[in-house]
Every structure is written in C-alpha cells, then in structure tokens.
Amino acid sequence: MSMWWSLHLRREAASVPLARRFLLGTMETAGVDPDISFDLSVALSEACANAVEHGGRRDTGDTGDTGPGRTVDERPGQANEQYRVTAYLDGEKCRIEVADSGPGFPVRRTLRTAAHPSAGQPPEPYPPSGGSGSVALGVVPGEHPGALAESGRGLCLIEELADHVHFGNRPGRGAVVSFDKVLKWREGALLMVS
C-alpha cells in the first residue's frame, strides 16, 4: 500500500506549520517511526520556508488567463503567491517535493545530493545546468554558512536530514527541492512493508 498527497499553499509564513502538521499527521496515521517523521518534518519546514521567502517572481503584473491544461500554480500573477508540496509514502521511503515559482537556484557545476557521502569522498558531481537540469546553491557542498550568518542554513539542514536531496530549476517556472528518506515503521503500522 502507498499514499500520496499534494498541497497548493500561499506563500505566507502560516503555510509552513500547516504543511508540517499535514505531513506529521499522515506519517503518524500510517505508522512511521516518530524519529523519521520528525526529521522529514524539519526538512519540509525548511523547504517550505525557502519557498515562502524566495519563491515569487519580481514581475507580478502579468494577468494572463487560466486556459486549459494549466494548473493552479501556473496562473500568471497567482503563481507568485503560491507554492506546491507533494509527498509520497510507500513501504520503503517517503519522497517530498516543494516547487515554487521564484527565480530558481543559481547555476553551479556541482551539487550535493546525499547527506552522507562515503567517508573521505567528495560529494557526487553533476554536469552543468542544462544537461540534467541540476543546479546548485549559494552554499558550496560540505560548507556551512558562517556562525553569524542570518540565513543559509535551511538547505544544509535538508541535506543532513534526508537520505537523498535534489535541488533543481523548472525553466521559467521556479525552483524544486526534492528529498527522500528510507522509512522505519512502528509495530503494526498500516503501510509497513511485508
């Protein structure tokens, strides 16, 4: 058995705890181990906070129509005010994606995709943006913001709490943060692997 859900949220601070509580409620009902649920909820909170802070375009004057084939987060003008959270739980892992309509991540050649690379090994490199759609962050993999920095820790936290992380851009449509974690289950859990 598996389950998934998707939320379209306003880019407001109040949406962050709403998404977190929705995820925690889903995982508790399904029987996910509380430590795993907590890690994923913190990572989700950071990704949502990033979408709220950075996820809108500067040009909000477009008032185009909402023609066939467009989803609610693709409407010009309205897209600047929303972001999307999608979560998928199956018997083995939880995958979460947060997509916004902001300017995206700055392009760089390498990207850290796992919180725990092999001991002594550098993070796995990816080709420049354009080939795979991979992009980078303002933070160099393995480096953390300065002790007195006012921001910049959220993406590092996501990398540490999840098993696999991908930061990407949807050309002309914003940034996507996706991450997953192998699940552990409480005894008698509804979705537990047989």
pLDDT beyond 50 at 95: yes
**Closest by alpha carbon to 160, among 42, 24, 55, 54?**
42
Q: In this predicted structure, which of 14-23, 67-76, 104-113, 138-147 has the lowest mean pLDDT?
A: 67-76
Query: How far apart are alpha carbons 125 and 104 in whole angstroms?
Result: 20
Q: Which amino acid is present at 11?
A: R
pLDDT beyond 50 at 10: yes
- Kindly list the strands in the beta sheet with 174-182, ordered across the sheet, starting from the edge strand earlier in the chain: 3-10, 82-89, 93-99, 174-182, 164-170
Instruction: Report if residue 45 sits inside a domain.
Output: yes
Instruction: Report if residue 24 sits inside a domain.
Output: yes
- Contact present, 32 and 185 (Cβ < 8 Å): yes
pLDDT digits (tens, 9 = 90+) for 25-36: 999 999 999 999
Instruction: Report if residue 193 sits inside a domain.
Output: no
Question: pLDDT band at 128, cuts 50/70/90?
Answer: very low
CATH code of the domain in which 8 resides: 3.30.565.10
- Contact present, 113 and 124 (Cβ < 8 Å): yes
Mean pLDDT, the chain, as a whole number?
A: 76
- Which of 25 and 59 is assigned the larger pLDDT? 25
Instruction: Report if residue 190 sits inside a domain.
Output: no
What is the pLDDT, as a whole number, of residue 129? 32
pLDDT digits (tens, 9 = 90+) for 133-187: 333 344 443 456 666 666 678 899 999 999 999 999 988 789 999 999 999 999 8
What is the pLDDT, as a whole number, of residue 77? 52
Question: pLDDT band at 108, cuts 50/70/90?
Answer: low
What is the pLDDT, as a whole number, of residue 103? 87
Domains in the chain: how many in total? 1
Instruction: Report if residue 111 sits inside a domain.
Output: no
- Which of 183 and 58 is assigned the larger pLDDT? 183
Instruction: Report if residue 132 sits inside a domain.
Output: no
Instruction: Report if residue 146 sits inside a domain.
Output: no
pLDDT beyond 80 at 5: yes
- Contact present, 52 and 13 (Cβ < 8 Å): yes
Residue 48's domain comprises 3-57+71-104+151-182
**Closest by alpha carbon to 10, among 83, 76, 61?**
83
Query: How far apart are alpha carbons 31 and 26 in whole angstroms?
Result: 9
What is the pLDDT, as a whole number, of residue 149? 65
- Which of 133 and 79 is assigned the larger pLDDT? 79
- Which of 107 and 41 is assigned the larger pLDDT? 41
What is the pLDDT, as a whole number, of residue 69? 41
Instruction: Report if residue 176 sits inside a domain.
Output: yes
Query: How far apart are alpha carbons 21 and 114 in whole angstroms?
Result: 25
Question: pLDDT band at 48, cuts 50/70/90?
Answer: very high
* Helix or strand (DSSP H, E) at 184: none
